[in-house]
Structure 1
Amino acid sequence: MIRQVVLDTETTGIEISEGNRLIEIGCVEMINRELTGNNLHIYFNPGRESEEGALRVHGLTTEFLSQFNRFDDEVQRIIDYLTGAELIIHNAKFDIGFLNHELALAKRPPLETFIGGVIDTLELAKQMFPGKKNNLDALCARFEISNKHRVLHGALLDSELLADVYIAMTRGQFGLGLDVEEEEVSAQIEVKKLDATVLAALPIIRATAEELEAHDKYVAVLEKASGGETFWRALPTTEGN
């Protein structure tokens, strides 16, 4: 069983050094790439105002947040939920930085000591789509995932969208077994129908060095996301191929 948690946070501002705090965490659970509905969504009272720029992004006012518990009061609930899971985060450095800061203030160990690892979808996207916009809105558009209801940023909504994006980004390396078998059988049938003289005349077009390098980079992205060797690595190779 592979348990993954897609996670997002909202904060009072972007700099921890300026006293900014966590105000929201949203988590979406997946077991074997299937959404379970066992999600976690918590607002926190940060004990301070949000910066103007941050407030424009998330819209969570001080008055609204004042009715909720502080992070310290919810910390064990968060640790219990995240323990053992592989986290999927967009721009993981930011969210992990704030979570570890809050854990330290609550005198708890850092995130890395009780989770099963982290996949940063921003880094995956940069490798898959170099030179392009790779924020969540851009990825939703690229994979045709509707985000029309995303007027303001919200940790749970963004986690739900990111879960769909991650599944779309990594779909290629899953479910290959039967599909590949069927493709191989189909290919064999088609070859048998061709005349031997026709086969002999077919040109062999080999990949260029640039194409091979691009393919190798893409396979590396798939392997990083799946945590194992892809089908292409397992294929036997011959000299010159």
Structure 2
Amino acid sequence: MASQAPQGLPLFYKDLIPLSQQEHAGWRYVPLQTADFLKNEHAVPLTIDEFAVSQRFFPIIFSSGDNPVPLALMGLNEGINTFVDDEGKFNDDVYVPAYVRRYPYLLARLNESSDELSLCVDPTSGGIAKVDEGDTIFDGEEISNYTKELLQFLEGFEQAGQRTGAFVQELKDNDLLMEGEVTIQQNEGGDPMVYRGFQMVNEEKLRALRGDVLRKMMQSGLLPLVHAHLFSLSVMREIFARQVAQGKTPAPGTAPAIV
């Protein structure tokens, strides 16, 4: 889940610039008051460090394709987020994934020939400004304490992303992922909604794993993560119910894809 910039910008980001003492001396951080960048996004990347708490709120699925990524579903249909209103405000007390909390900041590799990561910001977000109030980006020639805390959070996120990549690779190595499908009956006697376009763990193959493989997964902490993912799938119907209550459900029979 390491970020690249500026060629392929990650989800949410419209632009990316590095923070520098030369350009941003005297600038301050401006906390975002809303998450309007999130209101039309139904799926957000998730790290395995967040599975335990996220399973209570969101279905945890894996994206389709050869390089699957764990995703927290905030809605079942593209463009629908059941946790954020039209003004970008959260309408419930819900866990906010780290991927969302890091915006508009990012550790990005600005030079493909270097492994060095730079602290960057989306300048279109309003997350920094030359104002008189707020936490400073720099204190003289040094970065501020707030910047140090931000870097610590972003570095932790990158490390969690690496652990997540290793977890997904182990699922692939053991051939545990399969194409998912969920059918939800909206009204009695009506056509069901069929959701596809995602991957999930194949429980039959999980049960068929050799004992030594399962033991290794248990000892490494990976097996509880798989169970968290599987348990979370029951939340799919709760998210559908939220869409119905908010009037955001597509016409029956359209069989929309999740991702």
**TM-score over 0.5 for the pair:** no
Q: TM-score range by the shorter chain?
A: under 0.3
Give me the TM-score of the superposition, normalised by structure 2. Answer: 0.25
- In terms of fraction of residues, the more strand-rich structure is 2
Give me the TM-score of the superposition, normalised by structure 1. Answer: 0.27
Identify which of structures 1 and 2 has the higher relative contact order when contacts are C-alpha pairs closer than 8 Å and 6+ apart. Answer: 2
Which one has a bigger Cα radius of gyration?
1
